Amino acid sequence: MAEARVRREEVIGQPLAEARWWSCAPASQEQLCAAIARASRGETVRFETLVQFREGLDRHQDVEITPHKDADHHIAYLVYVGIDITARKRAEAEIHALIDAIPQLVWTGWPDGSQDSCNQRWRDYTGLNTEEAQEGEGWMQYTHPEDQQRVLET
């Protein structure tokens, strides 16, 4: 990536987790090391993370680390693919800011009944924070008992 000002020598032959863009973000570096450990045991690992290529150049990445095996079925190497999702993350932040600004209770859920997201007005009304609302069916306690089954089915 040209705008990151990364030279080949900084990448080729260097341990990925020790690259400066990972070491500038300890939480992301820890996430990467854990993913490498899992992939080294044969698991394909996917996660989103934030990396800092240089001061002022943070990028969100959707990362997949895939183990590849040799003829003897031993892991020979790992393939790292990182896709820049910074634009998507900015768009998500903008839409969430818009949703927080409207004077309505807004939430979205998954087919299993768990909550995906909620706006600030919903959190203010229920008194739950985002994590509490997303734990299992925590949000359901604010649905009238007579409506709960129909809401879950819908």
Domains along the chain? Answer: 2-84 (3.30.450.20), 90-153 (3.30.450)
Among all chains, which residue has been given the structure tokens 């990151």? 4
DSSP SS3 for 79? strand
Indicate yes or no: pTM above 0.85.
no
Residue 91 falls in which region: left (phi positive, over 0), alpha (psi -120 to 50) or beta = alpha
Phi and psi at 142, nearest 5°, equal: -100, 15
Phi and psi at 66, nearest 5°, equal: -120, 125
Give the length of the chain.
154
Residue pLDDT, tens place only, 112-124 = 777 788 899 988 9
Give which of 40, 85, 45, 38 is closest to 65, Cα–Cα.
Answer: 45
Residue pLDDT, tens place only, 21-79 = 776 778 888 999 999 999 999 999 999 998 887 777 888 999 999 999 999 999 999 99
Burial of 110 (0-12, 13-18, 19+ CB in 10 A): exposed
For a pLDDT cut of 70, what percent of the chain falls above it? 94
Strand order in the sheet with 57-69: 45-54, 57-69, 75-84
Q: Identify the pLDDT of residue 57.
A: 80
Exposed e or buried b per residue across 48-62, where buried means at least 16 C-beta atoms within 10 angstroms of its C-beta: ebebbbeeeebbbbe
